[in-house]
C-alpha cells in the first residue's frame, strides 16, 4: 500500500527561481550595499534548500531565524555568512553556531551571558540586535552602548528591525535610523537596518547590509510604491484544476450556509483547492482567480477541498467554456498574491508560507 505522500492533493505550486534571483539582485542594487537573502520559514514557502542553493553563486549572505534553519542551509553547500536572527536558545545552539561558522544575532541579555559563558565565545562573531522602536526583540539602546564599549565579544555588527517601513507616511523609520546612527557613531562596526520596504522606500535606512525577504519573492512591501512594481517579478504560481462544471439556475445558492445566491443563470466551475490547501476560509467578494487569462470571481464560502468560480466573465471575454482539468491560477504572473491576500484581510506572507501543494521549480 502506498503512503499518503504517494497520492498528493491537487494544488500545483511552481517556484520561479530565476525571478527570485532577479529580485534579489534588483533589491541589492537598490540598497547599494551587501544584502542577506532571507530564507527563513522555508524561504517564505518557496523551499529553502532550492532557493539557497540557486542563490549561492550571487548572494552576499543568507538570513534565517533558527540555528536549525541555518544548519540546513549550510548543508546544501552554502559557504556565505548565515545570520541567525533569533540567535541561540541554549548551549547546544552555540555549539552548532561555532561548528558551522554562523553569525548569531544576540537580542537578549540572557543570550549574551550564555554566549560569554561558552567555551568558544571569543571565536563566535555575533551581531548585537537593538530595539530602536520595533518593540519586539532587541536589547535597549543603553544596554547596547554598554556592550559595545565593554567589547567582551567579537561583535560582527549591530542590527535593528524596522517597524513601519511599509508605511511611507510614518516618521518612526526616520527615528529608528537616527537612533541606530547615534548608537554606532563612535564604533567602527558593520550595521544592518533596511528590510525590503526599507530598501525601496527609505534611503535613510540603508546601511552596510540589507535584509531582503518578502521583496525577494516578488511581493510589493510598500503599497502603491512604483519601484516595487517596476523592479520585482512574481516568484510563485499556485494553480489547481477544475473538477466540475455545472449550470446553476438564478436564485440557487452556492456552498455552505447559503451565503451566495446566483442573481442570474450562472455557469459555475469548482476548483480543487480549499482551506486544507492553505487558501483562507474567509474571502470577501473581491476574491477571484485567473481562468484562460480572465479574472473570474470566487463565489460562496471556501470549503475544505474546493471553491466555486463564476465563469460568466469567460463568455463576456469571448473565451471558451471551462473544462475539467483546466487550471485556475490563484496567484502568479498576472494575478498578484497581494490581491488575494487583500481579499482575505491578511498579508501575502501568510498565503506564501501557508500554501500546500506539489512544489516544482523553474529557472
Domain 236-362, classified CATH 2.30.30.30, yes or no? no
Whether the CB-CB separation of 59 and 80 falls below 8 Å is answered with yes
Would you state the pLDDT for residue 1?
Answer: 38
Distances (CA, A) of 2 to 8, 11, 235, 305: 11, 20, 32, 22
Would you state the pLDDT for residue 227?
Answer: 57
- Which among 131, 336, 136 has a CA at the least distance from the CA of 218? 336
Residue 256 among the catalytic residues: yes
Cα separation, 267 vs 312, whole angstroms: 6
Would you state the pLDDT for residue 3?
Answer: 44
Mean pLDDT by 10 residues, the chain (363 residues): 63 98 98 98 98 98 98 97 98 98 98 97 98 98 97 97 93 97 95 97 96 96 68 96 98 95 97 98 97 98 98 97 98 95 96 96 96
Domain 33-231, classified CATH 3.20.20.10, yes or no? yes
Would you state the pLDDT for residue 124?
Answer: 98
Would you state the pLDDT for residue 7?
Answer: 74
What are the domain boundaries of the chain? 33-231, 236-362
Confirm whether 33-231 and 236-362 share one CATH topology: no
- Helix (H), strand (E) counts: the chain: 13, 18
Q: Which residue is catalytic, options 30, 40, 129, 206?
A: 40
Cα separation, 315 vs 318, whole angstroms: 5
Cell numbers representing residue 331 in the block:
496567484
pTM listed for this prediction: 0.95
Would you state the pLDDT for residue 191?
Answer: 98
Amino acid at each position: 500500500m502506498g503512503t499518503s505522500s504517494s497520492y498528493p492533493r491537487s494544488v500545483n505550486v511552481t517556484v520561479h527561481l530565476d525571478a527570485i534571483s532577479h529580485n534579489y539582485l534588483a533589491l541589492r542594487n537598490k540598497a547599494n550595499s551587501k544584502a542577506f537573502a532571507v530564507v527563513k520559514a522555508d524561504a517564505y514557502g518557496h523551499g529553502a534548500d532550492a532557493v539557497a542553493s540557486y542563490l549561492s553563486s550571487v548572494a552576499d549572505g543568507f538570513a534565517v531565524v533558527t540555528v536549525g534553519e541555518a544548519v540546513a542551509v549550510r548543508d546544501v553547500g552554502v559557504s556565505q555568512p548565515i545570520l541567525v536572527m533569533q540567535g541561540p536558545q541554549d548551549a547546544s545552539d552555540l555549539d552548532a553556531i561555532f561548528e558551522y561558522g554562523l553569525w548569531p544575532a544576540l537580542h537578549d541579555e540572557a543570550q549574551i551571558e550564555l554566549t560569554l559563558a561558552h567555551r568558544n565565545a571569543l571565536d563566535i562573531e555575533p551581531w548585537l540586535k537593538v530595539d530602536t522602536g520595533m518593540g519586539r526583540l532587541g536589547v535597549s539602546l543603553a544596554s547596547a552602548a554598554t556592550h559595545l564599549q565593554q567589547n567582551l565579544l567579537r561583535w560582527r555588527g549591530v542590527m535593528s528591525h524596522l517597524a513601519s517601513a511599509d508605511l511611507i507616511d510614518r516618521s518612526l523609520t526616520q527615528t529608528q535610523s537616527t537612533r541606530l546612527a547615534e548608537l554606532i557613531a563612535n564604533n567602527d562596526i558593520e550595521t544592518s537596518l533596511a528590510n525590503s520596504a526599507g530598501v525601496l522606500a527609505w534611503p535613510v535606512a540603508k546601511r552596510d547590509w540589507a535584509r531582503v525577504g518578502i521583496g525577494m519573492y516578488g511581493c510589493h512591501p510598500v503599497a502603491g510604491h512604483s519601484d516595487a512594481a517596476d523592479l520585482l517579478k512574481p516568484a510563485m504560481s499556485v494553480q489547481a484544476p477544475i473538477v466540475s462544471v455545472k449550470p446553476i439556475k438564478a436564485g440557487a445558492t452556492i456552498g455552505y450556509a447559503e451565503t451566495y445566491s446566483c442573481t442570474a443563470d450562472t455557469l459555475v466551475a469548482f476548483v480543487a483547492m480549499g482551506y486544507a490547501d492553505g487558501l483562507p476560509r474567509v474571502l470577501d467578494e473581491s476574491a477571484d482567480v485567473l481562468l484562460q487569462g480572465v479574472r473570474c470571481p470566487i463565489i460562496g464560502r471556501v470549503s475544505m477541498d474546493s471553491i466555486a468560480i463564476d465563469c460568466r466573465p469567460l463568455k463576456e471575454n469571448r473565451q471558451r467554456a471551462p473544462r475539467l482539468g483546466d487550471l485556475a491560477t490563484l496567484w502568479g504572473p498576472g494575478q498578484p498574491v497581494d490581491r488575494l491576500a487583500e481579499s482575505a484581510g491578511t498579508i501575502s506572507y501568510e498565503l506564501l508560507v501557508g500554501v500546500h501543494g506539489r512544489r516544482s521549480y523553474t529557472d
